[in-house]
Structure 1
Amino acid sequence: MELLRRRSLFPVLLIAYACSVKYTVTGQINCNIVGLDSCVCDTPQGRIDLTSIANSDGTPRFKNIQGETFERYEYSYNPCYGFQTGTNGCGINGAVNAACQEETSFDDQYSCGLTSTETFKYYSNGKTELQYDGGEGGRITVVEVICDESATTPSIRSFDDGDVPYRYDFQLRTECGCPGRCHGSKPKPGGGAGGSDKSGAIGLTLIFLSLFGLALYFVIGIVVRKYRFQKSGREMIPNHEFWFVLPYLIKDGALFTFNSIRGLVLRGDKSPSDYDKL
């Protein structure tokens, strides 16, 4: 009986294994996230965020993209926020377009997909795509996003609808296609998930703390010397002898350094200063 039960479970396990292999090879995640722009995708390797390479002023980020299959066509494209081309432009009833096609010889324009239909797809093999539906005449646009950490300035190619009629394929190459590389309105320096350059912020913090400590030193010192030691005038300043002579020490050091360098340049003397004569 036990053997019969094990045999009955074998086909189920086999089917489950086959499904898992299929997902590993061709698995897809629709990664539209509630509350975030539709061109943001959380992947197992980190977040892909394309918002920093998109125009948010109603104009296309990429213009006059020459089709590589049919040279008479040019395209415009803007991820995330789309664009409008005016009353005589592509689209219907002022819809916000993600991509538009223009036939340059006749000045005809067609919407190739609406921003409202934008879908971000991530595949288990690392491939990422943006898809837009709702274009005129059933047109759709598919943009393959290529991760290229050296592509600090994004570039795009158009392959027209050479393979499938009314499906317009693009290839967008950008550092922001790499998980964790970009975030929000500007790219994260350094790249990679969590890779950021904090040296500037640390430097400013150290400068602020140094100035704050110096000010605190003078305030506390003046209060103590005035009320505890009954000092007045310049004697209220802690270590006032040092602070009043410091400008002259800086001047002497600068003059000594300047004269030493000038002596080396003019005479080639290894020790041109008066200190060597002593």
Structure 2
Amino acid sequence: MKILVIFFTLFKLLCYISAQKTCKKVNSCKCKLDDGKVIDLDPLAKSSGPAFLDVLDSGGVDQYSWNPCKPFSEGGCTNAAVCQTHSGLQYNCGTQDSAVFGYDDANSVYTITYSAESYVKSNDVRTTTLYLYCDQGPDMFQPIGEAVQGTYALIFKGKYACPRTASAGISAGSILIIIFFSLLVVYLIGGVLFQIFVKKNSGKNAIPNSNFWFGLPGLIKDGVFLIIRRGGKKGSYNSI
């Protein structure tokens, strides 16, 4: 009986582990899921100042500023990802370098957790969790505020919180096509210049290998007709 209990417990543990959703950190505002999709907040980021400035928390007590990807400074906050304004003073509630991606099972959303050591008191670390809600509506940033002392919660809703297919970039085939046409252009321009200034040719004779290029359309046409005629005929065998 004990063996069955242990087996069942291990089975539940394995199921729990396999069900965990992870998003591997790429940088402070981007992570990659197991299926290859990404959550990327970079389009929200501002180069100077926060993307969301001094937004009042749900309790109407403090204001919070947040910027993904790029650190900002505001009053007493320097190199911040999250800044709290409390009683007219600013407190760094998380840096970009500290960003850690996670998943909140209770709300079924991905999260980013920031942290920063307070400059007011040594060994006083502030921790902020940003909850990322996938929503196709307008972007919305809503600070919840301080849950317990030194721990803060923020909500972001928007399309950039949604997992999406990562940009594939330029494929190998596209690169080969680009190289081919680049070489073709160099060949034609260089060949024409050589024919005009070195061989003193003009007109159609200025085109390098002009006989080949002018005959190419006819060769293509003959090839197409040959394929059509071959395709329309059925093979025949002599009777024995």
TM-score (normalizing by structure 1): 0.53
Q: Identity of counterpart residues, as a percentage?
A: 22
Equivalence for 1:129: 111
How far is 1:144 from its partner? 0.7
Contact 2:41/2:160 (CA < 8 Å) preserved in 1? yes
- Which letter does structure 1 place at the counterpart of 2:154? F
Aligned counterpart for 1:156 among listed residues 141, 144, 152: 141
Matching residue's letter, 2:63: E
Is 1:79 the counterpart of 2:68 in the alignment? yes
Unaligned runs of 5+ in 2: 119-123, 211-240
Q: Provide the C-alpha distance between the structure 1 equivalents of 2:181 and 2:68, rounded to a whole number of angstroms.
A: 43
Report if the CA contact (8 A) 2:141-2:157 is conserved. Answer: yes
Task: Show the 5 A alignment for 1:195-274.
Answer: 209=181, 216=188, 219=191, 223=195, 234=203, 236=205
Partners of 2:185 and 2:125 in 1: CA distance: 68
The structure number with the bigger radius of gyration is 1
Q: State the SS of the aligned residue for 1:216.
A: helix
> What is the CA–CA distance in structure 1 between the aligned matches of 2:204 and 2:8, rounded to whole Å?
91
Q: In 2 relative to 1, CA 197–107 (structure 1 residues): closer, same or farther, beyond 3 Å?
A: same
Contact 1:120 1:131 (8 Å CA) reproduced? yes
Structure with bigger strand share is 2
RMSD of aligned Cα (Å)? 4.3
Secondary structure, counterpart of 2:133 in structure 1: strand
Partner of 1:253: none
| Correspondence 1:51 to 2:42 | yes
- The 1-side partners of 2:204 and 2:97 are apart by 73
Task: Specify which of 22, 40, 52 is matched with residue 62 of structure 1.
Answer: 52
* 1:144 corresponds to: 131
User: Offset of 1:111 from its aligned partner?
Assistant: 2.2
2:29 matches 1:39: yes
1:37 counterpart letter in structure 2? N
Q: Deviations over 1:131-161 (max 9, x none)?
A: 122354653211011223x45x743111222
1:20: which partner in 2?
Answer: 14
* Count of equivalent residues: 197
Q: What is the one-letter code of the residue matched to 2:80?
A: N
1:9 to 3, 7, 28: 3
Structure 2: how far apart are the matches of 1:223 and 1:16?
80
Match for residue 231 of structure 2? none
Instruction: State TM-score, norm by structure 2.
Output: 0.60
Normalized per residue, which structure has more helix? 1
